[in-house]
């Protein structure tokens, strides 16, 4: 091929490319790819229009075609020039004028110029493209632009870069091939698993494990297999570290930053239930042929070495404060004075005479009266003589500490190598052990005294219980005789045997309760107080009662109606027994289809104590009015029948009352026959330091910039959850159905005011929580945190819920601690938003607000607070004036009404109801907000029943008032 033919063929090749690109056909683009070198460089006018291989060129060009909807262009003018700059290199450059293909007569015609330069390489009789540069529309030439200046120099640079790129691709290929060969050959050396994965395409290409080290089911999807491997770690912290290392995005990002290898050590849970320390290492490289990132995973068994290290660490850090190696033959030694606050072994202290230098170090600060004996104990000769008779030679010494207290230390000597006459000498502080031993002795003395008291009370107690024990026993004996007499009457005998069994079970429960009462009456029952997690206590109670209710067909709900601490100090076992006794009775006496409810709130606090109120209510058979005063008497039962399905010992509530009183509390009951019963329990518990730290954490998190939506068909749950979130500073709204939630989310999304967190109940009518989540995800995408609330076991639906977009699950009832734990996990997601967002400024200019308040000072404060936002305020002093003022004003003049509840002439509830009943335009929709000191749930319900939209409790918090008004204004535009 001569130079002229080379130039003509190169120009024809460029003309073909221009026509194909202008025609915008994806099929023709793939024809272009046959002309492109694998390392072809393409540079265009767009910010990201740079590709260094033909695959990326095709991918980027196809995406552009999709964006432009494949607009068709025609070539109007062509101007091509070519220069040969080497034997096999030709540069074609020129200018093409194009216009948009006209479809209708009045369509605007687009005309533009594009200039270009193309480097063509001669490969045999074919032409290959090594570089394309184009600018569009036509603009002034830039000084560094590759057209048409310095064409030869630039072409040589491109060719040099192309050769460098090819060399780099070859080097990467070699790395990949070497790693593949290494993995195939690697075996033994404690290797227990190996895998090769295509990270780019999320594929596991191979995965082999040694027998006994399987992590569970294998998957060809990398993200699924990575999760299986991460789940094999023994602790949550280890799982998170392993999961982070195995994360696809993390591997890709770190590889781009130059990190080719990562490792994590963790305890691996094996199929047989054992744990073994394992090190998993990932090596990452590129497959240049296909442009894919590939990882090689190796897992090694490091159990033996890790346990040895932990053993040494345990010996040095956890037990001894001094360890020495001593040669008894020459007296030389090497010792370590260990500081538990400094990890690892310190610098060794060496000496030539242990009997003097070592002993002086060990018995430093020893009490004066023991110094002589201790010095003799530590002479090499005495140690040698003692170890001839015993394996360990030890002594206790007492040392004065820096704080003035006297601590008990133990010195121990034993052979490391008897033949070599080398020993180990240790020193440890056993002061705590000595104190514990004394405490155990005192406990035993108290137990002995309690036993004496029990023995003294035994005869009197058994005498009182004799009648109660004989009653079911008489039934058993009598029914046994009847059963024997009715041996020829199977039906009668079956009835008798059934009653015998029932009486026997009653007798057993009676004996158990008598034993419990005996502890109470002899004074041996005491509180075993300690710090406990309050949420875990309620969760345990709910688990027991949910099961009983499910078996009987009774609904059960537990609601936190007020603030509670995250942890308390008290006897958690007895508190659980109290709640289970009372709730168990409620379930027992509530027929199928009824409901049992547990309400919880903290009603008062002092400096270190809190009073907790539990209200256990049911819709059961109720209690006779005459029997209510005797409900807590021992052996007292309203329905004392041994054949009844609700029979009991009559001691449960007596025991419960005793336990409650031991907690400085009280228990009382209200009941209506055939309506139900309400037991109110109040106990005093200690406030732990953990709760105070939790409150500090809430303050530090600054949740006031976050917003939440609560979705639950139970309005009471919505309001109590709203109260908890509001107390933590969050902006909160609620709706009572999935459909309403979707509408609210859609509205906020349209305004670009997304919620940060959405709490959704699982079981709701019409649309459940999972479907609601799925629909919300379609609107807002993946960035908003969605939490499912449920009182049921969610494991059966977890996979389906995760697929729908649920981020986490929370067990009902919701506590501040459980909500705070959830926000601790997602706080990092919102941290930047929280720190950057300025304090919200509310502007209510142009808004007219009617304020009804009979207290002039309160009215003045509210008026001034609202006027700072630019709102115009009209003040009236009672509900009648509010009704008259609103009625006589023009329609839609007022944008909101703030209404006190207790006012003279006409109260706020009546006034609100009358406004809603007016036929005036806007009276049905104007926001009416209660501002009142009435803060109980029934007060809130009354406000809602009388047509109010919100209920604010005095003293009014300005931020909450402003936020409530802003929300109302948005909802009623």
Cβ contact 100:109 at 8 Å: yes
SS3 370: helix
Q: What is the pLDDT of residue 83?
A: 83
Tokens of 758: 């959405």
Mean pLDDT of 20-46: 72
- pLDDT tops 80 at residue 315: no
Burial annotation 120-143 (CB, 10 A radius, 16+ → b, else e): bbbeeeebbbbbbbbbeeeeeeee
Note whether 218 and 226 are within 8 A (CB).
no
**pLDDT for res 557:** 84
Q: Which residue has the tokens 């202290």?
A: 349
Q: Name the CA radius of gyration of the chain, rounded.
A: 41
Which residues make beta-bridge pairs with 708? 732, 757
| Mean pLDDT, all residues of the chain | 80
Report the pLDDT value the prediction gives residue 313, as an integer from 0 to 100. Answer: 57
> pLDDT of 706-731, one tens digit each?
889 999 988 888 888 888 888 777 88
Candidate from 173-187, 233-247, 285-299 with smallest mean pLDDT: 173-187
Instruction: Dump pLDDT digits (tens) for 726-785.
Output: 877 788 999 999 999 999 999 988 888 889 899 999 888 889 999 999 999 999 988 889
| pLDDT at residue 580 greater than cutoff 80 | yes
Name the more confident of 923 and 478: 923
Confidence of residue 387 (pLDDT cuts 50, 70, 90): very high
Please tell me which residue, 412 or 215, carries the higher pLDDT value. Answer: 412
Compare 331 and 62 and report the one with higher pLDDT: 331
Q: What is the mean pLDDT of residues 891-895?
A: 93
List pLDDT tens digits, range 132-187.
Answer: 887 654 445 554 444 443 444 554 555 555 556 566 667 777 777 787 877 776 66
| 885 burial level (CB within 10 Å; 0-12, 13-18, 19+) | middle
Q: Which of 153-167, 391-405, 654-668 has the lowest mean pLDDT?
A: 153-167
Which is higher by pLDDT, 312 or 503? 503
- The half-sphere exposure of 337 on its side-chain side, counting CA atoms within 13 A, is 7
pLDDT tens-digit readout, 329-367: 888 888 878 776 666 556 778 888 898 888 888 888 889
pLDDT tens column, 584-596: 889 989 999 999 9
Beta bridge partners of 581: none
Q: Is 756 helix (H, G, I), strand (E, B) or coil?
A: coil
Q: What are the phi and psi torsion angles at 456 (to 5°)?
A: -65, -35
* Cβ contact 587:548 at 8 Å: yes
Q: Per residue in 108-140, pLDDT tens?
A: 456 677 778 888 888 888 888 888 887 654 445
Closest CA to 70 of 137, 20, 138, 132: 20
Q: What is the pLDDT of residue 155?
A: 47
Q: Based on the number of CB atoms within 10 Å of its own CB, is 161 exposed (0-12), middle (13-18) or buried (19 or more)?
A: middle
Omega prior to 955 cis, within 30 of 0: yes
Can you give the pLDDT at residue 131? 83
CA distances from 386 to 375, 378, 380, 394 (A): 15, 11, 10, 9
Distance CA 738, CA 766 (A): 8
Which residues fall within 8 angstroms of residue 338, CB to CB, at 6 or more apart? 316, 317, 320, 321, 322, 323, 345, 346
Contacts 24+ apart (CB under 8 A), 186-192: 186/298, 189/300, 190/300, 190/301, 190/302, 191/298, 191/299, 191/300, 191/301, 192/278, 192/299, 192/300, 192/301
**What percent of the chain lies above the pLDDT cut of 70?**
78
Contacts 24+ apart (CB under 8 A), 934-940: 934/901, 934/902, 937/561, 937/716, 937/719, 937/720, 939/901, 940/719
Assign 842 to helix, strand or coil: coil
Tokens representing residue 939 in the block? 């007060």
Q: What is the pTM of this model?
A: 0.35
Q: Identify which has the larger pLDDT, 839 or 15.
A: 15
Dist CA 71 CA 694 (whole Å): 61
Rounded to an integer, what is the distance from CA 83 to the centroid of its chain?
67
Contact residues for 769 (Cβ-Cβ < 8 A; gap 6+):
711, 738, 760, 761, 762, 763, 788, 789, 790, 801, 806
Task: Encode pLDDT of 63-96 as tens digits.
Answer: 666 655 555 667 777 888 888 877 788 888 888 7
Both structure tokens of 514: 């008598």
β-strand 406-417 against 392-400: which pairing, if any?
Answer: antiparallel
Helix or strand holding residue 937 (H, E): helix 937-945
Contact 816, 693 (CB under 8 A): no
* Cα–Cα distance, 711 to 637 (Å, whole number): 43
Interatomic CA distance for residues 778 and 495, integer angstroms: 63
- Better pLDDT: 608 or 249: 249
Going by C-alpha positions, the residue among 914, 901, 905 that lies closest to residue 853 is 901
Q: What residues are paired with 204 via a beta bridge?
A: 197
Strands (E), 369-434: 392-400, 406-417, 422-429
Q: What are phi and psi of 219, to 5 degrees?
A: -135, 145
CA distance 520 to 528: 14
- pLDDT-based confidence at 476, cuts 50/70/90? confident
pLDDT tens per residue, range 830-889: 444 444 445 678 899 999 999 999 988 788 888 988 999 999 999 999 999 999 999 999
β-bridge partners, 81: 93
Q: Percent of the chain, pLDDT > 90? A: 21
């Amino acid at each position: 091929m001569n130079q002229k033919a080379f130039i003509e063929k190169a120009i024809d090749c460029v003309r073909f490319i221009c026509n194909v690109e202008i025609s915008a056909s994806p099929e023709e683009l793939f024809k272009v790819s046959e002309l492109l070198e694998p390392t072809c460089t393409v540079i265009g006018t767009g910010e990201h229009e740079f590709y260094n291989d033909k695959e990326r060129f095709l991918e980027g060009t196809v995406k552009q075609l999709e964006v432009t909807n494949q607009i068709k262009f025609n070539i109007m003018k062509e101007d091509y020039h070519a220069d040969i700059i080497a034997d096999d290199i030709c540069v074609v450059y020129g200018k093409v004028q194009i216009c948009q293909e006209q479809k209708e007569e009045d369509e605007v015609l687009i005309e533009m110029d594009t200039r270009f330069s193309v480097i063509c390489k001669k490969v045999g009789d074919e032409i290959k493209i090594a570089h394309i540069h184009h600018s569009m529309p036509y603009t002034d030439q830039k000084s560094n632009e590759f057209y048409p200046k310095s064409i030869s120099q630039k072409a040589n640079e491109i060719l040099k870069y192309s050769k460098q790129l090819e060399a780099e691709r070859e080097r990467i290929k070699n790395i990949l091939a070497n790693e593949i060969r290494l993995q195939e050959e690697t075996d033994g050396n404690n290797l227990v698993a190996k895998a090769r994965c295509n990270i780019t395409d999320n594929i596991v290409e191979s995965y082999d494990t040694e027998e006994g080290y399987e992590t569970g089911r294998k998957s060809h999807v990398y993200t699924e297999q990575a999760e299986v491997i991460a789940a094999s770690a023994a602790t949550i912290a280890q799982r998170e570290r392993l999961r982070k290392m195995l994360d696809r995005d993390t591997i890709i990002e770190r590889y781009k930053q130059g990190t080719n290898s990562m490792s994590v050590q963790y305890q691996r849970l094996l199929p047989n239930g054992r744990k073994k320390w394992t090190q998993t290492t990932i090596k990452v490289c590129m497959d240049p042929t296909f442009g894919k990132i590939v990882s090689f995973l190796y897992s090694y068994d490091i159990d033996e070495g890790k346990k040895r290290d932990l053993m040494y660490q345990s010996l040095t850090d956890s037990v001894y404060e001094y360890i020495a190696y001593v040669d008894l033959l020459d007296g030389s030694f090497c010792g370590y004075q260990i500081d538990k606050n400094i990890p690892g072994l310190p610098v060794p202290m060496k000496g030539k005479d242990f009997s003097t230098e070592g002993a002086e170090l060990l018995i430093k600060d020893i009490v004066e009266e023991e110094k002589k004996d201790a010095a003799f104990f530590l002479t090499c000769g005495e140690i040698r003589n003692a170890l001839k008779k015993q394996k360990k030679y030890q002594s206790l010494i007492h040392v004065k500490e820096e704080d003035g207290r006297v601590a008990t230390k133990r010195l121990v000597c034993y052979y490391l190598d008897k033949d070599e006459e080398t020993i180990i000498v240790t020193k440890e502080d056993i002061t705590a052990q000595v104190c514990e031993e004394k405490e155990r002795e005192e406990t035993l003395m108290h137990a002995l005294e309690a036993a004496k008291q029990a023995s003294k009370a035994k005869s009197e107690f058994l005498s009182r219980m004799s009648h109660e024990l004989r009653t079911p026993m008489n039934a058993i004996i009598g029914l046994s005789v009847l059963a024997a007499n009715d041996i020829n009457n199977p039906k009668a005998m079956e009835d008798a045997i059934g009653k015998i069994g029932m009486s026997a079970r009653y007798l057993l429960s009676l004996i158990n309760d008598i034993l419990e009462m005996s502890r109470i009456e002899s004074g041996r029952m005491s509180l075993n107080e300690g710090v406990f997690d309050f949420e875990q206590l309620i969760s345990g109670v709910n688990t027991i009662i949910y099961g009983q209710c499910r078996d009987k067909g009774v609904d059960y709900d537990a609601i936190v109606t007020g603030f509670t601490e995250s942890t308390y100090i008290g006897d958690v076992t007895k508190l659980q027994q109290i709640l289970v006794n009372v709730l168990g009775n409620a379930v027992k006496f509530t027929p199928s289809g009824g409901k049992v409810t547990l309400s919880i709130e903290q009603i008062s606090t002092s400096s270190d104590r809190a009073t907790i109120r539990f209200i256990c209510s049911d819709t059961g058979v109720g209690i006779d009015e005459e029997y209510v005063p005797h409900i807590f008497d021992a052996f007292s039962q309203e329905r004392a029948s041994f054949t009844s399905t609700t029979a009991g010992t009559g001691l449960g509530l007596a025991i419960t009352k005793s336990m409650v009183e031991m907690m400085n509390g009280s228990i009382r009951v209200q009941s209506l026959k055939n309506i139900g019963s309400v037991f109110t329990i109040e106990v005093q518990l200690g406030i732990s330091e953990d709760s105070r730290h939790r409150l500090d954490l809430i303050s530090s998190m600054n949740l006031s910039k976050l917003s939440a939506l609560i979705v639950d068909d139970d309005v009471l749950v919505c309001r109590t959850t709203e109260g908890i979130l509001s107390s933590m500073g969050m902006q909160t709204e609620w709706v009572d159905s999935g459909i309403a939630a979707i509408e609210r989310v859609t509205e906020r999304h349209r305004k670009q005011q997304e919620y940060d967190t959405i709490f959704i109940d699982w079981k709701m009518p019409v649309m459940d929580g999972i479907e609601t989540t799925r629909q919300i995800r379609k609107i807002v995408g993946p960035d908003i945190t969605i939490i499912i609330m449920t009182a049921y076991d969610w494991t059966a639906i977890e996979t389906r819920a995760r697929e729908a977009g649920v981020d986490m699950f929370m067990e009902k009832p919701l506590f501040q601690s459980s909500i705070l734990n959830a926000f601790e996990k997602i706080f990092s997601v919102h941290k930047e938003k929280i720190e950057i967002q300025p304090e919200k400024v509310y502007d209510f200019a142009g808004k007219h607000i009617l304020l009804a308040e009979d207290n002039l000072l309160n009215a003045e404060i509210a008026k001034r607070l609202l006027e700072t936002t630019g709102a115009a305020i009209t003040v009236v002093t009672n509900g009648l004036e509010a009704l008259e003022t609103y009625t006589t004003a023009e329609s839609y003049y007022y944008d909101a009404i703030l209404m006190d509840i207790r006012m003279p002439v006409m109260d706020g509830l009546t006034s609100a109801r009358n406004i809603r009943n007016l036929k005036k335009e806007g009276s049905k929709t104007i926001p009416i907000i209660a501002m009142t000191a009435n803060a109980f749930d029934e007060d809130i319900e009354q406000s809602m029943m009388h047509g109010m939209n919100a209920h604010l409790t005095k003293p009014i918090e300005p931020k909450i008032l402003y936020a409530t008004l802003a929300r109302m204004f948005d909802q009623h535009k």
